[in-house]
Amino acid sequence: MTTVTIGIDVGGTKIAAAAVDADGSLIARSQVPTESDDQNSIVAAIVKVSHEMKAAAPAARAIGVGAAALVDHESGTILWAPNLSYKDLHLRALLQDRVGLPVAVDNDANVAALAEAIHGAGKGAAHQATVTVGTGIGAGFVLDGKLYRGAHGLGGEPGHMIVVPDGPMCTCGNRGCWEAVASGRAIGRVARERVEGGAGADLLAAAGGDVAAITGEAVGDAAVAGDAFARDVVASVGRMLGIGLANLVNLLDPALLVVGGGAAAGTGELLLGPARTAMAAHIVGASWRPPVPVLPAALGNDAGVVGAAILARELAGSG
């Protein structure tokens, strides 16, 4: 008998749910918007989609939740989220009580890494990391075949490793974090700095002459459309992405790395190509290890629900 579980992806703008079988295929799915200003509404929405999935897949044996938040996996509690109102939310207890299935909760980057490791680009490798390059940088590490959580459930946060001491300010309050120099936000910042220096006239014109209106997404789109200035900006940020990837290789010695997230998906090889080159140049002992492939994520927006469903399989007792 194949194990079916429910995966729920709680993001800043939407809550997605799916019933997922043991192959990672979606049997049913549902989606509702996230009410960011009301914790009770968010819980009610999660309960609602859980019931929908339970009705669509009566064989489902457990629920996994991946949330864009700081999560205590042990207790199933959402501690804090940057864009949402909830705080110290005992989601596991609430959901178990209201839906009647065992529940596991983890952060979105960890469940995305699980999804890519089991059913996606990293399938088959015991040691790997999935790095999610969006507005910021998230990550999840799968080491020795298991999601790595660390001593306090806070492992796998390379987005805030310092790669440029006294560098650009990060949203975390420090300077020079990897996500401050290698994320979608960094693409926007680097472009704006160079435009202020007099370059990138086309990009400035496209932003209506307002430097502050130049976003990382607009730069990525212009790069894809062939704009040379934008391509150079994306390549510069790609090199910093590659330096951080090399740090992961030097520390973790993974068999492969998976890179996903909106900024990576939106720029593709324009970002990943320079990242791979810079990574290769900064790996120690390169002559004694096989090349470490840097693979684009394979599951796209479904990584959240699929990974959350994998998380739930541990509770269901089999994969």
* Shortest distance in whole angstroms from residue 95 CB to a second copy: 22
Binder to a second copy among 13, 58, 124, 165 (CB under 8 A)?
A: 165
* Shortest distance in whole angstroms from residue 52 CB to a second copy: 32
Stretch that binds a second copy, among 8-16, 24-32, 34-42, 279-287 (CB under 8 A): 279-287
Per CB under 8 A, does 66 bind a second copy?
no
Report the DSSP pairing between strands 103-107 and 63-67: parallel
E strand segments, 178-313: 256-260, 294-296
279 Cβ contact partners less than 8 Å away, ≥ 6 residues apart: 242, 243, 245, 246, 249, 292, 294
Dmax (CA) for the chain in angstroms is 64
Per CB under 8 A, does 280 bind a second copy?
no
Residue type, 10: V
Contact 72, 93 (CB under 8 A): no
Binder to a second copy among 56, 75, 282, 314 (CB under 8 A)?
A: 282
Instruction: Please state, in angstroms and rounded to a whole number, the distance separating the CA atoms of residues 202 and 262.
Output: 23
Binder to a second copy among 145, 150, 300, 317 (CB under 8 A)?
A: 150
Q: DSSP for 12-42? A: SSEEEEEEE-TTS-EEEEEEEE--TT-HHHH
Q: Which of residues 220-259 bind a second copy (CB under 8 A)?
A: 240, 243, 246-248, 250-255
Per CB under 8 A, does 70 bind a second copy?
yes
Name the residues that contact a second copy, by CB under 8 A. 70, 79-80, 125-127, 141, 143-144, 146, 148-165, 172, 174, 177, 240, 243, 246-248, 250-255, 281-282, 284-285, 288-290
